[in-house]
Amino acid sequence: MKRVMFVCKKNSRRSQMAEGFANVLGKDKILVSSSGLEASQIDPLVVEVMSEVGIDVRNQASKSLKNFEPEDYDIVISLCGCGVNLPQNWVLREIFQDWQLDDPEGQPIDTFRRVRDEVKDRVTKLLKSLE
């Protein structure tokens, strides 16, 4: 089973969405974690827009990348263009991708929904590529 790390700046929006989708869509196929360059807290609008599509992320927590070891992961996905700020050993995993999705922070809920749908599309494509 492949081990995937989704990483973002604060692990509060995009990477939390990706973790939620990957846990549901990749169940029994991949092991999923998410983290941020710094820890924060999950944005309440993320909880709301994910629940709209039947995914409960209330029990997920914001975590710092410093709490993880790169050797424990096969795939690292940056969701915010922060790949340039990641330590080199994170970028050199079997698969590294930098999705560069918009940060919906402070935006209307429709922006959160658009980003959520983009995250779902990317996670779905990632899972298909691993089959």
Quote the tokens at residue 17.
């969405």
Residues in the chain: 131
- In angstroms, the CA 39 to CA 28 distance is 27
Residues 67-93, buried b or exposed e (16+ Cβ, 10 A)? ebebeebbbbbbbbebbeebeeebeeb
| The predicted structure's pLDDT at residue 35 | 96
> Could you read off the pLDDT tens digit of each residue along the chain, which spans 131 residues?
999 999 999 999 999 999 999 999 999 999 999 999 998 999 999 999 999 999 999 999 999 999 999 999 999 999 987 666 888 899 999 999 999 899 999 999 999 999 999 999 999 999 999 98
| The predicted structure's pLDDT at residue 86 | 87
Domain ranges of the chain: 2-129
Helices (H), the chain: 14-25, 44-51, 88-91, 109-129
- In angstroms, the CA 118 to CA 124 distance is 10
The CB density around residue 18, as the number of other CB atoms within 10 Å, is 27
Q: Which fold has domain 2-129?
A: Rossmann fold (3.40.50)
Question: pTM, whole model, 2 decimals?
Answer: 0.94
| The predicted structure's pLDDT at residue 131 | 87
Catalytic residue ranges: 8, 80
| The predicted structure's pLDDT at residue 83 | 66
